[in-house]
Structure 1
């Protein structure tokens, strides 16, 4: 068997990524980038160590350094980009349009032009390279460095942080920006190790690509990644089978290719555009209509739906009536594209199996049409479940399918997985994974009691999966910098979330979620995709404006809910 991720992450025991697996992944990257790495055992003294190289990390590195802090960024991968460093599979692209999916710094957007409304992963990596150059980030960045452990020392009020390759850092602040998709998940199917073809998770797509011409390929999973992959693989492969676990409530992307430097809005309008992002529920440039579904008559509703559908993006979902959670409109649109009645009922049933937005909404670009091709098959694993991976392919309860490649688009241990896979221990000796074993507790989705001076962005119990990435990176990054400046001005050494405040924040997260229909669906928003993971709302659903207001009030009131010493 050839296992593309195995060449990077070594033998697998629990079918998910561990620090040991990550170390093997980045070993060859590190050697290529840094040559032979020699470590003399001396700890590097820092004001802050930043973990990760996505939007949150690079924003913090730039602004903390500008504020006079001695800071360093470490990243397990080989370059900037966060998930976009790893996601190189065919069809990988962001579902946030430009210029929303960019930083608001004029030094960046005045010297950068997008090629598409929804950029592909290669263009996103080019954008991060542009950011790194303009902000001069590389001199304070270490790639190929997976953080395996961090221990707080109460006497010195510092974290001792170790990477797998042997670097040691002493930092006053430990700033984690691992994002919500840092730990892959592959179900523990019997027989994976026996497969004689190539088995891989799409986020381990080889940088050199794969020659799939004429090959038999399986894609397991029909989330955003699975839908993107399937659409782009269809014209390349000899035969494609898509294994569907649950339907994808996709909306049209409406891709646009820009020519001669044109952009979606004039650059003169960018400052107002960026200022308005924190006033919108999802941190974009659009919000709900401000009226309910039946405030309009049937004709007006139909006109509204058609206009929003034609706009593409998430507008049909997040710019619609404020009470719309169920509609057959999208299903009807999808059904019109699918010729086969059986496939039509599996991909786009008229009875929506879950409420709109309670699972990850995707933007599709020709996804439904591929199932009209004679070499593309849809396998419903609810009626014919996967029983095992065999040497030749996949055995379902109905038959054995033969494949050259099995692409396992089964997602991630989202939101908490990336943080828990590091051995992080506070003054009590308890690890973060142990602290969160039964349930997740944070204050403001930024901090955890018992872990002083440890702050994270784009993580659990924040607006994370419902918030545009750069928007969240800036508002959380600015708040963290403000807290650090406050402590420096007051001569304080330590900040820690109060246990009572994190209990109250968890109660608020649950209260808002339980007032919606989100818990009614099985999704990674609730931790449902990982066996044994506590089932709980992991997302703050109050929206960006309410979250931004709470952060501001907390700071204005002397950082209530935190113990400062």
Structure 2
């Protein structure tokens, strides 16, 4: 889009190839949990139909091949500089442009700075005292060696049982000598059904127009949306609907069952108990149930993982667990992991599935300075604020994607939301140029209004009452605010479109 407008565009990536999160997250078991045929770009029908997925939820190697297909089909490599990290970006008041520096010593002078750093791309790698003393090997899942890791004959510990940890655990349990899982926060999980696609994927390709129209307007950018309200159905009908959706083997129970479970604690408890019941039937062990089934927060207020045989892993003879709620990890020692009570778990490999500084971390790890030399890291260290997750007051001509206060910060099928944000940014730049202006920035009042709307929407939900990375709770000292806009993808899209239709009222242009 920017090329067609006659702009000179250059992209920079620390990685050695395209793929973004699908380049970095090549850990064992990494795969989609959005259906492959919706995790797509719909601006080009040929681009969509000329690639065929093997199954409903393909794995990382296939996804990375698809990302390379996208880069090649759109001839993107000519404008991407790989193996280059942006270290700083400073607004130059006298020129109205950004001065950007890289780790290669390059200095880039640019009118517009667009960040596409990802919402889960700043890993929490150094989380325990003594990691450097470990005599074995430590890997964070998002910085996995490209040539893989051998687990044969190894004593392996996995720290973290979120969506990533679950994928690793279920994949490597039968490949290690012994697996120790360090469990702190249990997760509600849903079983994945992952059928192969027949032939050339004609069935889903025939839905191109339908999906192109539907995805941008649902609550989460998926093909499905919430159905009848809880109050409209009898208890028997509710149960039947939960059973039907649970059997779908997707995220549908989370994203398209009953919206009331995000607002009404009684509904939340009933849906949560339904999922607990399903998990208990598979674990068949009271101790494991107490350890692995949540009871102190509602289903869906944390990120919900899909899994394939994950719960059954804990019944294997070569798998043991550590209850880190009762006996937390104190430090890493040369032999392995030391617990608070002094117990040492001897290990050869430690896998850290310890998550990310979500939403903000990718940008605060760059020295970004706006008007008056104000630091974005310091600003967000006091309070996390944006205008629709697209611009930030005090940082002119800085456009952002996958940052806080937009659905793309967490609650969205990412391609749906990122494509919408990219289109909005390109259209905004085009409008600015058509008006003979060179600089755009949201006013303080516009930003304050969006933050207030965001908070009012979030605080009406049970998300705001739950401790999770959705609120930055996993990062010490991070200001507490719901990272993702909870008003829905379709609503957000309409609000962004209204701003554009009104000539970007509330944005200063010079």
| TM-score of the aligned structures, taking structure 2 as reference length | 0.96
Partner SS for 1:485: helix
Whole-angstrom CA distance in 1 between matches of 2:126 and 2:298: 26
Q: Which runs of 5+ in 2 are unaligned?
A: 262-267
Per the TM alignment, residue 67 of structure 1 is displaced from its structure 2 partner at its CA by 2.7
Deviations 1:25-77 (A, max 9, x none): xxxxxxxxxxxxxxxxxxxxxxxxxxxxxxxxxxxxxx211332111111111
Matched, 1:132 2:71: yes
Whole-angstrom CA distance in 1 between matches of 2:197 and 2:204: 13
Q: CA RMSD in A?
A: 1.3
Q: Which residue matches 2:463? A: 518
Partner SS for 2:89: strand
Report the more deviating stretch, 497-506 or 266-275. Answer: 266-275
- Asked if structure 1 preserves the Cα contact closer than 8 Å seen for 2:211 and 2:223, the reply is yes
Per the TM alignment, residue 192 of structure 1 is displaced from its structure 2 partner at its CA by 1.4
Give the one of 239, 263, 266 matched to 1:302: 239
Matched, 1:488 2:433: yes
Q: Which residue matches 1:37? A: none
Whole-angstrom CA distance in 1 between matches of 2:242 and 2:462: 22
Matched, 1:285 2:285: no
Give the one of 500, 516, 541 matched to 2:445: 500
Whole-angstrom CA distance in 2 between matches of 1:269 and 1:368: 35
- Asked if structure 2 preserves the Cα contact closer than 8 Å seen for 1:107 and 1:134, the reply is no
Give the one of 208, 213, 219 matched to 2:152: 213
- Asked if structure 2 preserves the Cα contact closer than 8 Å seen for 1:78 and 1:143, the reply is yes
Q: Which residue matches 1:432? A: 376
Q: Which residue matches 2:47? A: 108
Q: Which residue matches 2:193? A: 254
Per the TM alignment, residue 505 of structure 1 is displaced from its structure 2 partner at its CA by 1.1
The alpha-carbon distance between structure 1 residues 154 and 397, as it changes in their structure 2 partners (threshold 3 A), is closer
Whole-angstrom CA distance in 1 between matches of 2:126 and 2:107: 34
Matched, 1:348 2:287: no
Matches within 5 A, 1:262-277: 262=201, 265-277=203-215
Per the TM alignment, residue 196 of structure 1 is displaced from its structure 2 partner at its CA by 0.6
Q: Which residue matches 2:14? A: 76
- Asked if structure 2 preserves the Cα contact closer than 8 Å seen for 1:179 and 1:418, the reply is yes
- Asked if structure 2 preserves the Cα contact closer than 8 Å seen for 1:255 and 1:365, the reply is no
Per the TM alignment, residue 457 of structure 1 is displaced from its structure 2 partner at its CA by 0.8
Deviations 1:181-226 (A, max 9, x none): 1211135422212111001211111111111012100000000010
Matched, 1:94 2:39: no
Give the one of 253, 260, 266 matched to 1:323: 260
Give the one of 101, 107, 132 matched to 1:168: 107
Partner SS for 1:65: coil
Matched, 1:334 2:279: yes
Whole-angstrom CA distance in 2 between matches of 1:319 and 1:539: 18
Per the TM alignment, residue 155 of structure 1 is displaced from its structure 2 partner at its CA by 2.4
Whole-angstrom CA distance in 1 between matches of 2:196 and 2:320: 30
Matched, 1:402 2:341: no
Whole-angstrom CA distance in 2 between matches of 1:322 and 1:201: 35
Partner SS for 2:206: helix
Per the TM alignment, residue 548 of structure 1 is displaced from its structure 2 partner at its CA by 0.5
Give the one of 110, 119, 125 matched to 1:180: 119
Partner SS for 1:461: coil
Give the one of 385, 406, 411 matched to 1:466: 411
Matches within 5 A, 1:234-245: 234-245=173-184
Whole-angstrom CA distance in 1 between matches of 2:131 and 2:174: 27
Whole-angstrom CA distance in 2 between matches of 1:128 and 1:404: 34
Q: Which residue matches 1:314? A: 251
- Asked if structure 1 preserves the Cα contact closer than 8 Å seen for 2:471 and 2:482, the reply is yes
Runs of 4+ more than 3 Å apart: none
Per the TM alignment, residue 272 of structure 1 is displaced from its structure 2 partner at its CA by 1.7
Q: Which residue matches 2:399? A: 455
Partner SS for 1:128: helix
Matches within 5 A, 1:17-36: none
Q: Which runs of 5+ in 1 are unaligned?
A: 1-62
- Asked if structure 2 preserves the Cα contact closer than 8 Å seen for 1:64 and 1:71, the reply is yes
Give the one of 206, 227, 241 matched to 2:166: 227
Aligned positions, number: 499
Whole-angstrom CA distance in 2 between matches of 1:249 and 1:543: 22
Partner SS for 2:110: strand
Per the TM alignment, residue 343 of structure 1 is displaced from its structure 2 partner at its CA by 0.9
Q: Which residue matches 1:541? A: 486
Whole-angstrom CA distance in 2 between matches of 1:478 and 1:160: 24
Partner SS for 2:282: coil
Per the TM alignment, residue 502 of structure 1 is displaced from its structure 2 partner at its CA by 0.9
